[in-house]
Structures are given as C-alpha cells and as structure tokens.
Homo-oligomer: A and B are copies of this chain.
Amino acid sequence: MTDNNFIFISPAQMEERFASILLEIGFTDQKANECAAIFTANSVDGIYTHGVNRFPRFVQYVKDGFVLPHAIPSLKNKFGAIEQWDGNLGPGPLNAVHATETVMGLARQYGIGCVSLANTNHWMRGGTYGWQAAKAGFVFIGWTNTTAIMPTWGAIDPKLGNNPMVMALPYKEEAIVLDMAMSQYSYGAMELAVMKNEKLPVDGGYNSNGEQTNDPAAILESKRPLPVGYWKGAGLSLLLDILATVLSGGLAVHEIAKKAVEDSLSQVFIAIDISKLGNHSMIARTVQGIIEDYHQSVAADATKNITYPGERVLFTRENNVVNGIPVLRKVWEGILAL
C-alpha cells in the first residue's frame, strides 16, 4: 500500500456524508447525527476498523434488518444501583452511549452503578464509552461479548469471543483509556499485515500444523488466533462472556455464534463517580505521579516512546483533525456510492 491508496477526508465532511446516508436508510435526524459523530470520532482517533472502514457494514446491517434504526433500549429490571436494559437490537453505538449516560446517573446517585444491556448490536469501539465517561469525571469499566472467534487454550475450535474490555478514567483535560480485546491480534489487524506483506511483531496464533507462528496468513488459514497471555486471556474472555450474559440476561458467545450475523450482544457498563471519593481533590495529582513515573521507563529502543493507553490517540486525533482522516481510496469510493 502506498500513500496513493489513501485520500484525506476532513472530519466535517465525513460526518456529513455518514449522516446523510443514515438519514436515507431511515434514521431520524438526531440519531443520524449522533451515529455519524461516533463513526467519525472513531476515525479521527485512528480506530479506522471501527470507524470509516466499518461504516459500510453497519449500513448493510441496517438495510438487512439486523440493526433497527428506531429501536431504543427499554428497562427490564432495576434494583438500587443496578439496571438491566434490553437493547431491542437498536444501533449498537447509540445503545451504548445511552447505557453509559444511564450508568453515570446511577453513579452520581449511589457512587457506583452498573447497567447491563442485552440484545444490543456491536458497539464499534469500546473506547468510545470509556472516553465518554472519563471526560465526564467517572471511572469506567465496561465490556461486551462477541461472536466466537478463537479457541480456548489447548483447543482448536473457536469457542471464545474477542470480548473487548475497557477501563478508563479522567486525566488532565483528556482521559486514560484502555480498550483491550482478548485475542492478541484482531482478524482485521492480521488481514492488514497480509496486505502489507508483513509478519506480526509477536506470535499471534498457530499455523495449520499447530505450531505457534507470527505469520498472519497462516493464522487466518488455521483460524487459531492466540488469546492474550495464552491460558490467562482465554480464562478472562470466558469470564467476561459469562458475566455479560449473567448480568444482562442476554445471549452468550456460543448462542451469538449460531446467529446469521454477529448481533444480540450482551454488554456491561460500570461507572464510579470520582467526585464522591474522599480523596477526590488529590486524584489528579496521584494519577499524574503514576504517569510521570511510568514515562520514566527506560525504553529498550531509545527511538521509541513509552506511552500509556490512550496517549497515542491524542496525537492521531490532532493530526487527523489538522490533515484530514486518511481513508483507503476504495473504502471512501464505496461510501460515496452507498
């Protein structure tokens, strides 16, 4: 891939295009704008896989009736600081924004809150909701289940979801946001490495002979990506699925895997209101102290910066706002043709 494969689209132009497409396929004005803003923000932040590159599939899911543009979440059960909602197969990002707003309300009232969401759609980038909550002054812990994409440790058939987990908190005017899927590499990352004719930086799975490898094509063929930390990430993926399913009353990974497409997901949103902590006035300094120590790490390669989760996003964001969002030419042409 060369630079010539990319064109640069301003955030405003992208958002406008996304919104007009969503309007045409039945979204209300407000929902089209909200959804377009999320897909654009994900692209501005450099998460193209869950921004501009994913947008055509989102549109297709709406057209095919998997994502229902008018559906809104409905409350199924409430007890104190926990609420269980049904996503009613509405747009995943809008449902997740709603859940995040709701859980922040619970946290304001009770210090901590937990909202779960059954029957929702792909939330795209989990970090979106981490940033949303953190910038409003909350600690956020959330996760989603997914369809089955990888074998557990010691197995060869896919039973585990990628089940991304997000942890976030405010930092300076921005946030520290960890957004971590349970496979070492996503299928998207491995496909990109194949396109670029590159090996993976570390082993990412097995080849068809069952040997650990950093050859992305071999892993795509075997369908045996590695969980992060081998047995550890496999266990974490399983627990995240069980907890999402239990807490929401929704579907588990093995049930989602039987569906025509990846929908009817289960999600969990936990928020803690930092202003209710006894030490709240010290927290900014505490976190800064941790990050300053972390930044003093001695890099193995002196040309590389040691960054915390979410830190590089700030550079990408600034760059993409100034220079436009780099979009694969054929992706943008596809979006213009939608």
Q: Does A228 contact B (CB under 8 A)?
A: yes
Once the chains are docked, how many angstroms separate the CA of A80 from the CA of B277?
11
Cα distance A308–B239 in the bound complex, in angstroms: 9
Q: Is the CB of A184 within 8 A of B80?
A: no
A80 touches B228 (CB 8 A): no
Q: For residue A169, which residues in chain B have a CB less than 8 angstroms away from its CB?
A: 242-243, 246
Shortest CB distance A119–B (Å): 13
CA distance A300 to B156 in the complex (A): 6
Determine how many copies of this chain the complex contains: 2
Taking a contact as CB atoms under 8 Å apart, the answer to whether B80 and A243 are in contact is no
Q: A319 at interface (Cβ–Cβ under 8 A)?
A: no
CA of A298 to CA of B157, assembled, Å: 6
- Mark the stretch among A1-9, A25-33, A41-49, A107-115 that contacts chain B: A107-115
Q: Does A155 contact B (CB under 8 A)?
A: yes
Q: Are A84 and B277 in contact (CB under 8 A)?
A: yes
Which residues A137-175 have CB closer than 8 A to chain B?
A: 139, 141, 151-152, 154-157, 159, 167, 169
| Known interface pairs A243-B167, A289-B254; A238-B294 also in contact (CB < 8 Å) | yes
Across the A-B interface, the 5 shortest Cβ-Cβ residue pairs: A228-B229, A77-B278, A249-B279, A82-B111, A80-B110
Binding site for B on A (CB under 8 A): 76-77, 79-82, 84, 109-114, 139, 141, 151-152, 154-157, 159, 167, 169, 176, 178, 180, 184, 202, 210, 212, 227-230, 232-233, 235-236, 238-243, 245-247, 249, 252-255, 270, 272-274, 276-279, 282-283, 286-287, 289-290, 293-294, 296-301, 304, 306, 308-309
